[in-house]
């Protein structure tokens, strides 16, 4: 398997060295750019699998560089903490935003999530799903465990279906909301945690304790 290539665009040499060392230990191939202009020059002849982008760069800023990046996932890593800044950048094409200072393990987790294969398409999935003794019929909307039916709301069913279609894979909250919106448009970011909590309680009652794992700051997955 070829090594995933990551371009780090950051003029902070000390932080860049720490991140590059950590990424190298994880098997990633790292390239560095220290300004927006240097980054665009690199991208004119190279295509990394993922980009880590700082905002406060010499010359072209990160905000100016981001719109010029096409079809490459970009994680913004910046000291800016304003919510409006984050929203603007996420709507402008970034797949994630991590505030400095950060924990290296969180950065590595977010990188791992965004470099994974795309989630399984619902249309291509079998209508009967099974995981850890739990059965889910996507046509009848019936969930069974040990011969007993698990009563789920429409939103709980949609969440569980997507998780079971992608077992073991961390699904970011934003992608989870986007993918279940067709089945349950009433679910919002503020209510998602409550729906997952209710779902976990119902699964725990039929012997599936801690079936759904919350990955802090990112999303959820089936254990």
Give the pTM: 0.55
Beta-carbon contacts of 125 under 8 Å, excluding residues fewer than 6 positions away, are 138, 165
- Write the CA distances from 144 to 15, 74, 136, integer angstroms: 50, 40, 6
Place of tokens 């959820």: 220
CATH code of the domain occupying 122-222: 1.10.10.10
Sign of the CA dihedral running 178, 180, 185, 187: negative
Q: Per-residue pLDDT for the chain (223 aa), expressed as one digit of tens each?
A: 468 899 999 999 999 999 999 999 888 999 999 999 999 999 999 999 999 999 999 989 999 999 999 889 999 998 876 777 777 788 778 888 888 888 898 899 889 888 875 554 444 446 788 888 888 888 888 888 877 888 888 888 888 888 888 887 888 887 787 777 766 666 777 788 888 889 988 988 888 777 888 887 788 888 7
Beta-carbon contacts of 85 under 8 Å, excluding residues fewer than 6 positions away, are 55, 78
pLDDT at 122: 44
* CATH 1.10.3720.10 applies to domain 5-115: no
For residue 101, give the DSSP letter. Answer: S
CA-based R_g, the chain, Å = 20
Residue 97, strand partner residues:
76
Q: Are 10 and 52 in contact (CB under 8 A)?
A: yes
Determine the Cα–Cα distance for residues 188 and 178; give it in Å rounded to an integer: 10
Q: For the chain, give every domain's residue range.
A: 5-115, 122-222
Q: Are 46 and 31 in contact (CB under 8 A)?
A: yes
pLDDT at 118: 53
Determine the Cα–Cα distance for residues 107 and 81; give it in Å rounded to an integer: 16
């Amino acid at each position: 398997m070829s090594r995933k290539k990551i371009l780090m665009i950051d003029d902070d040499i000390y932080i860049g060295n720490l991140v590059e060392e950590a990424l190298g230990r994880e098997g990633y191939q790292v390239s560095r750019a220290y300004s927006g202009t240097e980054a665009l020059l690199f991208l004119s002849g190279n295509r990394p699998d993922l980009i880590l982008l700082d905002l406060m760069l010499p010359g072209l800023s990160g905000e100016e560089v981001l719109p010029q990046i096409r079809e490459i996932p970009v994680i913004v890593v910046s000291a800016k903490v304003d919510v409006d800044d984050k929203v603007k950048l996420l709507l402008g094409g970034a797949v994630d935003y991590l505030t400095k200072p950060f924990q290296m393990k969180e950065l590595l987790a977010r990188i791992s999530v965004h470099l994974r294969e795309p989630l399984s398409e619902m249309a291509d999935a079998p209508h009967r799903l099974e995981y850890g003794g739990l059965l889910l019929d996507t046509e009848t909307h019936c969930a069974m465990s040990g011969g007993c039916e698990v009563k789920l709301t429409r939103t709980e069913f949609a969440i569980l279906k997507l998780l079971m279609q992608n077992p073991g894979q961390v699904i970011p909250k934003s992608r989870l909301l986007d993918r279940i919106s067709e089945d349950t448009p009433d679910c919002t970011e503020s209510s998602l945690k409550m729906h997952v909590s209710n779902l976990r309680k119902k699964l725990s009652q039929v012997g599936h304790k801690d079936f759904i794992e919350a990955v802090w700051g990112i999303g959820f997955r089936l254990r």
